[in-house]
Amino acid sequence: MRKLLLSAIAAVSAAALTACGGGNEGPYAGQTLHVYNWGEYTGENLIANFEEQTGATVVMDNFESNEQMYIKVANGESFDILVPSDYMIERLIREDLLQKLDKSKLDCLDLLADGVKGLPYDPNNDYSVPYFWGTVGIVYDKNVVSEEDLEAEGFNIFKDTKYKGDIYLYDSERDSFMMALKALGYSMNTTNEDELNEAYEWLVECVETMEPEIVTDEIIDNMAQGRKALGLIYSGDAAYVMTENEDMGFFMPETGTNLWSDAMVIPKNAENPDLAHEFINYVTSYEGAADNTETVGYTSPNAEVMEEYSSEGGYYYGINAYIPRTGNPNDEVFVYDETTRAIIADLWSRVKVAASNA
């Protein structure tokens, strides 16, 4: 009896083994790639195509914030690929958690658009290859808000009582303070407490007079349905809103905004760096990048893909939110500073308290 049982187990496990290996004949057959990425941030067929090409299996986990990802990585959990934002990459480099990319294994760096290459957090792309990039701006209903007002007021339009009760703010201390600091003409990376306090006063005045709704991603659907006139939004989300509703426009104030990028990095404790390099190559290649940008709506770092999707006949033709602005000296990339982060977080929670009591 026992013999029978053993042979049955052997047969089952043999079947399971062949099932795993079956059909995978690529160069990395049987290997596994652990990816840690934002939710809803990959092209429809990206993973399937990559698995088919390499024969490897991709295991993807999702995070909701850079901080959440950081905790796992700092605690030693092993991933082969992470996709953090600019300032978090800077922090990971500083804390020696990333490995340098082996550029002899990368054939994708030449494909990158100029504007997204060598951003200050990683000037030579020694550690990171961009995944998506974009800016933050104002999404607005063209039938309600005039372009002249936007040109004249910039982010101060969020304090224009003409639009009272008709605005969305984004519930993120970083983006809200960027808006206020830029409206006041300061750097978004200021560490000057007077300037931060001034920005705080700006935001308090805004929430006390304008009856804004402070939301997060609800803004995407709500603006696509034209429920309010104005909102603070990421350019990639604005691109989606504009493809859904042609009454919507996207505006970036002259006083500057935040240029951001999420990029792929390989942590020090990655188990399969070779395959990780392969993944970076595939995601940045024409095929992978096109798949990503079409599904997600954020701007592709691949110059050819960005060009094609935004030119005539392309999926994002005529949508200005799709192409991040380059060349405005007031635009900045976020720089991480723990002291300032704590101050801003505290002030933002007070802004929300003030909004509740307004």
Interface positions with other proteins (CB under 8 A): 169, 171, 173, 207, 212-216, 222, 225, 227, 342, 345-346, 348-350, 352-358
Q: Which amino acid is residue 258, in one-letter code?
A: N
Contact 236, 296 (CB under 8 A): yes
Alpha carbon 266 to chain centroid, angstroms? 17
- Smaller CB distance to other proteins: residue 13 or 225? 225
Q: Cβ 225 to other proteins, closest distance in Å?
A: 7
For the record, the structure tokens of 126 come out as: 């020694």
Phi/psi of residue 160, each to 5°? Answer: -85, 110
Residue 245, both tokens: 């509703």
Residue 50, φ and ψ in degrees, nearest 5: -65, -40
CA 181 from chain center: how many Å? 21
Which is nearer to other proteins, 91 or 268 (by Cβ)?
Answer: 91
Q: Which residue lies nearer to other proteins by CB, 86 or 213?
A: 213
From the CB of 89, what's the least distance to other proteins, in Å?
21
| Shortest Cβ 63–other proteins spacing (Å) | 15
Nearest distance, CB of residue 66 and other proteins, angstroms: 13
What is the rounded distance in angstroms from the CA atom of residue 99 to the CA atom of residue 199?
38
- Considering the complex, state which of residue 45 and residue 216 has its C-beta at the smaller distance from other proteins: 216
Dist. CA 13–CA 7, nearest whole Å: 10
Query: Helices 338-357 & 173-183, crossing angle to 10 degrees?
Result: 90
Q: Supply the minimum distance, in Å, between the C-beta of residue 185 and other proteins.
A: 26
Q: How far is the CB of 341 from other proteins (least distance, A)?
A: 8
The token pair at 348 is 């933002």
Q: Would you state the structure tokens that stand for residue 221, as one six-digit string?
A: 């659907």
Measured CA to CA, the distance from residue 156 to residue 179 in angstroms comes to 9
Nearer to other proteins, 87 or 131 (CB): 87
Contact (Cβ atoms closer than 8 angstroms) between residue 280 and residue 108: yes
Task: Work out how close the CB of 227 gets to other proteins at its nearest, in angstroms, rounded to a whole number.
Answer: 5
Rounded Cα distance, 60 and 56, in Å: 13
